[in-house]
Amino acid sequence: PSPRAAQVPLRAAVEALPPYVPGARAAGGAPAWKLSSNENPYPPLPSVLEAVRVAAADANRYPDMYASELVEALAAHAGVSREQVVVGNGSVAVLQHVLQAVVEAGDEVVFPWRSFEAYPITVAVAGGTPVTVPLAEGGRLDLPAMAAAVTPRTRVVLVCTPNNPTGPVVHADELDAFLAAVPGDVLVVVDEAYLEFVRDPQAPDGVELLRRHENVVVLRTLSKAYGLAGLRVGYAMAAPRLVAGIRAVSTPFGVSHVAQRAALASLLPAAQAELLERVEALVAERTRVLAALREQGWDVPESHANFVWFDLGEQTTARAAEAMAAGVIVRPFAGDGLRVSIGEVEANDAFLKVAAGWCASR
């Protein structure tokens, strides 16, 4: 037989994937504030660094495959049983595993747009068909429209609260109505990546939803409030049957021993108290930044996460370039808007100066 044209085809869905653009980094030693990836500006606690140092000595061994001790600690932290928790290397990986566990080729996955840019990618990788629902006024999720988008072919709905990149939360009563309208065989993923930054008393409590709805998965992470973005620890909580399915498709040994020990050290009461004080300081900074921006005349959505959103449309790319030139790295979504993370006081001050300059040129 003659050799065929020697090119391995990629899956059509993979060829068509939109890129996941990571937040830009400072270039070549230029002084810059990195406000492009919703990171926590504080470095790891000394106790967490010590846990990392000790754990690194076991790097020749595989980690505990299912991270039992960490799962136990997370379950106690959230108030669920250990059979209801599954960890992964970042909540984005856990989301991929969730979809892999339930989506058959061509199943529809409904999600808001604009929202977390990994959603269309993970859905396509899992073989699903993305169904996007535009945001409502003020960058809020349009839950009634999302419920109306559910068809007999829908397998999953993604609810991002607070929504990345716009910032508002859904309200508990809206989510209750949504869950009542959606059939019980449709999985509803509630992505609470920014939960610890939420200060809206009307926000839902993911764990309380789990008690009432067998079809809910709650997604959380140690990347944001707990400041471990670089170590990659996320988790999902769901009914034990679903958790078993998610575990079955998870990357074996997906969370390193170093990451497991750092996460455990972060969940100890003293560490946790200190980390949550830092979150409080970031929330205070968010309040200050939002007030200052409104004072400057900006119509920015109410954010309950560690970032703020500018609906700049076609001006987005030019404004981002101006910020970069002033040493402030922001995250543009071309043609749509610009997201700016809340960082240290000096970084936020530097950004507020940039925003004042944008104002002047409006």
Binding site for ligand PMP (CB under 6 A): 38, 90-92, 116, 160, 164, 191, 193, 221, 223, 229, 234
Residue 221 CB neighbour total at 10 angstroms:
24
Q: Which is nearer to ligand PMP, 66 or 116 (CB)?
A: 116
Beta bridge partner(s), residue 129: 108
Which helix (H) or strand (E) segment holds residue 288: the answer is helix 269-296
Nearer to ligand PMP, 219 or 320 (CB): 219
| 195 Cβ contact list (under 8 Å, min separation 6) | 206, 220, 225
Tokens 């109306």, residue located: 148
- Give the distance between the most distant pair of CA atoms in the chain: 74
Residue nearest to ligand PMP (CB): 90
To the nearest whole angstrom, how small is the minimum distance from the Cβ of residue 342 to ligand PMP?
Answer: 14
Cis amide leading into 114 (omega within 30): yes
Q: Is the Cβ of residue 89 or residue 348 nearer to ligand PMP in the bound state?
A: 89
Asked if 298 contacts 359 with a C-beta cutoff of 8 angstroms, the reply is: yes
Residue closer to ligand PMP by CB (options 33, 116) is 116
Q: Please state the closest distance from residue 6 (CB atom) to ligand PMP, in A.
A: 36
Q: How far is the CB of 108 from ligand PMP (least distance, A)?
A: 20
Q: Taking the complex as a whole, how short is the minimal distance between the CB of residue 87 and ligand PMP, in angstroms?
A: 10
Q: CA 352, CA 148: separation in Å to the nearest integer? A: 40
Helix H or strand E encompassing 109: strand 108-113
Smallest gap from Cβ 69 to ligand PMP, in A, equals 19
User: In this structure, is the dihedral angle defined by the CA atoms of residues 259, 261, 267 and 271, taken in order, positive or negative?
Assistant: negative
Tell me whether strands 154-160 and 108-113 are parallel, antiparallel or unpaired.
Answer: parallel
309 vs 358, beta carbon nearer ligand PMP: 309
**Which residue lies nearer to ligand PMP by CB, 215 or 221?**
221
The Cβ of residue 21 has, within 10 Å, a number of other Cβ atoms equal to: 12
Q: Which amino acid is at 35?
A: L
Closest separation in Å from C-beta 215 to ligand PMP: 19
Name which of 67 and 352 has its Cβ closer to ligand PMP.
67
In the bound complex, what is the minimum distance in angstroms from residue 95's beta carbon to ligand PMP? 7
Least distance in angstroms from the C-beta of 83 to ligand PMP: 22
Q: Pick the closer one to ligand PMP by CB: 38 or 84.
A: 38
CA distances from 4 to 10, 12, 65, 342 (A): 16, 20, 42, 54
Task: Give, in degrees to the nearest 5, the angle at Cα 133 between 131 and 139.
Answer: 145
**C-alpha span between 358 and 362 (Å, rounded):** 6
Residue 40 or 315: which CB sits closer to ligand PMP?
A: 40
Residue 130 dihedral angles phi and psi, to the nearest 5°: -70, 135
The conformation of residue 28, written as its DSSP 8-state character, comes to: T
Least distance from ligand PMP to the Cβ atom of residue 192, Å: 8
Cβ count within 10 A of residue 252:
8
Under 8 Å between Cβ of 330 and 26: no
